[in-house]
Structure 1
Amino acid sequence: MRSFFQIPRITEIDNRKLADRLNDLVKENDTSSRIRLLKKGNEVGHLTTDADRSNVQLYLDKVLPDTVVNEKLFSLEAKTFHEVTIENYNATELNSMTPFNLTALYQNIVASLKRKKEYGHIPCEILNEFYVMENGYITEEEYKSNQKGLTKSIYTTLQKSNYKTRFWEKLEDYHIPAINDGLVKQLGENLQLIN
């Protein structure tokens, strides 16, 4: 598990096969389209195959149920209650799923931070969504010829965007929800949508 203390950055994507990343979890078939993921006897997530058997979704909470992950860095303290990752893949064979098959990534961290004793722990939530609209590889020669212009760190973000397509005008073509699913559930209950 990574540290809670992070700065805004581009989403970090693990380059290992999905099967290798899930090696420390026990996999238990729940139904023909669902595999439960267990750690220390507790369910921490699941793998679900869609009805037409062409896509797989991984749901994983890196914090065990009914536990809290405590971290401290100098005078800062963090308590992480949930660290949920949802990944969608356009493949169904677990042993062959790589980041190249990734179509969407959703990360949500629910925690609290304490900087000064008198303020106590202040609730904090971090949400990160990443959608793959197209992917490809470059050759080693292409990499070397462009190396000087590449960003050296995932912690560096560009000051302005340079989009070749206006993807936000046709989100459904890229399987991007217009409103985050978590927000849709809250609308009408705790939140109100204002146009």
Structure 2
Amino acid sequence: MPAPAKGPRLGGGPAHERLMLNNLAAALFEHKRITTTVTKAKRLRPVAERLITFAKRGDLASRRRVQAAISARTATNKGIIHELFTEIAPQLAERDGGYTRITKIGNRKGDNAPMAVIELVLEPVSAKQAVVREAEGAAQRAAAPKAEPAVQAEAPEAPVEETAAEETAPEAEATEAPAEETAAEAPAEAAAEETPADEAEGDDAK
């Protein structure tokens, strides 16, 4: 049987080792921290961080890779996978690595095995960046409701008034101009009609 690449093998064979580490990873994603031996914690870290990297991608192929590692046959595992993609991965989106933390807690009673706590690092990358982001978000939320109504109230009024004034002016000029022309043409036509009649009366008098 070939020797494992990193440390002694856990369990009876390679398949048993993979199942054990995948089950530990599922428990870690469900409870956010678990207590196990130092050896298992060190072997679990790369497995869990690799699954988190797939979850950060968020595409269908990555989800299938995670489902292949964490069996999705039970409702509990389906819920763990959903939580990994929707809650844990967004919290670790700004972190490039180091998603887990191992803390030694002493030896176990009975067999004196060294124990450790492995947990997810869900805190922000730095406290200063978290404070700055919260301040920026609060400023944006405070400024957004005040700016939007002013823009919505002022924007429709200006174009409507200008277009109304521009449209009514040509119509008024168009209606007034023919009236003046007809008023000026009416006396001229009346004078033209009266002159032949007057000339005819003058001829009869002669």
| TM-score, with structure 1 as normaliser | 0.25
- Structure with greater proportional helix content: 2
- Structure with greater proportional strand content: 1
| TM-score, with structure 2 as normaliser | 0.24
